[in-house]
Amino acid sequence: MGIKGKAYLMGAFEHPLRDAPDTSTPQLHAECARGALIDAGLTKDDVDGYFCAGDAPGFGGLSMVDYMGLKNVRHLDSTETGGSSYIVHVGHAVQAIAAGKCSVALITLAGRPRHGGRRPGAGMAPGGGGGLTDGPPEAGFENIYGGSTHNTYGMCAMRHMYEYGTTSEQLAWIKVAASHHAQWNEHAFLKDVVTVEDVVNSRMISDPLHLLDCCVVTDGGGALIVTSPEVARSLKRPKVRVLGAGEAPKTPLGGQGLDLTHSGAVWSGPRAFEEAGVTPGDIKYASIYDSFTITVLMQLEDLGFCKKGGGGKFVADGNLISGVGKLPFNTDGGGLCNNHPTNRGGITKVIEAVRQLRGEAHPKVQVANCDLAIAHGTGGSLGTRHASATVIMEREG
Amino acid sequence: MSDSHEKNGATGNMSRPIPAPMVSVETKPFWDAAAEGRFLIKRCTECRKAFWYPRAMCPFCMSAETVWEESPGEGVIYTYSVMHRSPTGPYAIGYVTLNEGPAVLTNFVDVAPDGLAIGMKVRVKFQPTEGGPPAPVFAPA
């Protein structure tokens, strides 16, 4: 055990500038990255792990992954501990490499405090707002157009319908299934069972997504405990063993060949399934991030539960309803009906999967012999840049 | 409030006020050109690919040899979504696939909410922003 000797520092680069009036913070990050890669004799396409802290402009590591065109990243870490972050990152990178989660880790730091961080320009414009960085590099070209989760996910749904003939009625079945589960959850924000007609007749929010295609907005939260096997054995609770995990950013990467009909799940899913040694057909219960109905449909396709473009048929006619369909999903009612605390639904996805594997879900929605489950999520926006994450778990014993 | 919005949404052409874009030392040439009504994109002189959004380094080959290039700003709608309610009425967001290749996030103007379609030919125009340089938006060509 331990990381001793498990990885090597093979590239290093210190930017020559000490005063950077003409170089943006994203550019400084990228120039440092290029310098270190050249020093190591590698290229950006060799990088499969990216580590940055709060000085990196944008949303976690996603904006710099996009700026630099890092298309092969399978491990992201934006741990922030101030000036020591990059030393923490070295330790985390070695752990990730030792675990097989990446083989070339890039760590960057950059900023320009002598030039006011986010200035020059309209520092308080959308995407701005003070702080130590120049702001997300994409902000000036994206944040001014009134993008929200509703309309950027709407864009994905629109294109999915155009390419594959997916219908609003098919999307509605996802909400219907969630509502059938939520009726048994005493804490669910929305407990009423709805019909396909209710969904497609609810008011249009942003084409083609109706009000009932959208998740709830709720306060609240959640927490998880992960332990070593030794600690797990000493505890009195049913043991849920993590078999595999995968992650992947998806960003426009320069805008050539943009494809909004799939998510990063096309990469995170296979990584998790391969590590776990199971296939989608083995899964008994699925927690699937449901910020919108289209989110579920695209991710089910991307994870391999059905073929690309077949999601509409797959989710129809109650196929996601526990006790009715082939793939029981979000048996707590999910983000569509139960809970989407502080607009982040990832943790509740894991929590319901744990309940199912323990056999502690509501009896009306408990999946029989539930010994293998998946929890999958998308963070950020499907329509611009996001990170996908997949975890596969089994009940032990 | 709702009357004017419904009138705007049912028959009128969409528009929304655009806030001042954030300008950095890296993107200032784009916005200076925008003020002159010229639409610039970036192209890598090593791998020859055009990319969007503009940045100093090529996202395809990491070359620093990138140049500004004036574009006619013509392309087709890749996808769109009309936000039906907002404080200023309905508006459309979407991506345009430029003839040079890259996809550009934008607002669609001079078109009714039900007048948009994937594949529609559109062309850039510039809309004044709230205290900043004009921003590129796209209208039916």
Interface residue A128 vs chain B (CB under 8 A)? yes
Q: Do B24 and A30 touch (CB under 8 A)?
A: no
Share of chain B above pLDDT 70, in %: 92
Mean pLDDT of chain B: 92
- At residue B9, the pLDDT reads 43
Q: Could you tell me the CA-to-CA distances from B54 to A32, A249, A265, B10 in Å, in that order?
A: 19, 20, 27, 36
- At residue A117, the pLDDT reads 60
Distance separating alpha carbons of residues B99 and B112, to the nearest angstrom: 24
**A109, A32 in Cβ contact below 8 A?**
yes
Residue A372's pLDDT band (cuts 50, 70, 90): very high
* pLDDT higher than 90, residue A261: yes
The nearest CA of chain A is from the CA of B123 a distance in Å of 17
Entry field: residues in chain A:
397
- At residue B14, the pLDDT reads 87
- At residue B8, the pLDDT reads 43
- At residue A115, the pLDDT reads 84
Distance separating alpha carbons of residues A375 and A361, to the nearest angstrom: 15
Find the CB nearest B25 among A22, A43, A154: A22
Average pLDDT of B78-97?
96
Question: Within 10 A of A202 (CB to CB), how many other CB atoms are there?
Answer: 17
Q: Which helix (H) or strand (E) holds A142?
A: helix A139-142
- A169-183 residue pLDDT tens: 999 999 999 999 999
Q: Of the candidates B39, B85, B102, B83, which has an alpha carbon nearest to the alpha carbon of residue A257?
A: B102
**A397, A310 in Cβ contact below 8 A?**
no
Mean pLDDT of chain A: 94
How many Å from the N-terminal Cα to the C-terminal Cα in chain B? 31
Residues 40-69 of chain A with CB under 8 A from chain B are: 43-44, 66-69
Q: Which amino acid is at A286?
A: A
Distance separating alpha carbons of residues A340 and A292, to the nearest angstrom: 11
Find the CB nearest A24 among B21, B26, B129: B26
Q: Of the candidates A130, A109, A136, A95, which has an alpha carbon nearest to the alpha carbon of residue A36?
A: A109
Domains of chain A by start residue, with CATH = 8-118+219-240 (3.40.47.10), 146-216+243-396 (3.40.47.10)
Q: Do A256 and B26 touch (CB under 8 A)?
A: no
The nearest CA of chain A is from the CA of B110 a distance in Å of 15
Q: Which residues does residue A185 pair with via DSSP β-bridges, in sequence order? A: none
* Of A123-132, A151-160, B37-46, B119-128, the least confident: A123-132
Find the CB nearest A68 among B62, B94, B101: B62
Q: Do B93 and A34 touch (CB under 8 A)?
A: no
Q: How far is C-alpha B136 from the chain's CA centre?
A: 4
Q: Do B81 and A209 touch (CB under 8 A)?
A: yes
**A393, A357 in Cβ contact below 8 A?**
yes
Q: How many Cα neighbours within 13 Å face the side chain of A136? A: 22
Q: Tokens 């890296």 map to which residue?
A: B26
* pLDDT higher than 50, residue A349: yes
**A341, A366 in Cβ contact below 8 A?**
no
Residues 6 or more apart in contact with residue A103 via CB below 8 angstroms:
A48, A49, A97
Does the pTM surpass 0.90? The reply is yes
* pLDDT higher than 60, residue B132: yes
Question: Within 10 A of B4 (CB to CB), how many other CB atoms are there?
Answer: 11
Q: Do B26 and A127 touch (CB under 8 A)?
A: no
Question: Within 10 A of A43 (CB to CB), how many other CB atoms are there?
Answer: 13
Q: Of the candidates A167, A173, A158, A205, which has an alpha carbon nearest to the alpha carbon of residue A383?
A: A158
- A295-333 residue pLDDT tens: 999 999 999 999 999 999 999 999 999 999 999 999 999
Residue A369: left (phi > 0), alpha (psi -120 to 50), or beta? Answer: left
Give the single-character DSSP code of A366: P
Of residues A283 and A59, more confidently modeled = A283
Residues 6 or more apart in contact with residue A115 via CB below 8 angstroms:
A20, A21
Distance separating alpha carbons of residues B95 and A32, to the nearest angstrom: 31
- At residue A119, the pLDDT reads 39
CB–CB contacts below 8 A, A to B: 187
* pLDDT higher than 50, residue A206: yes
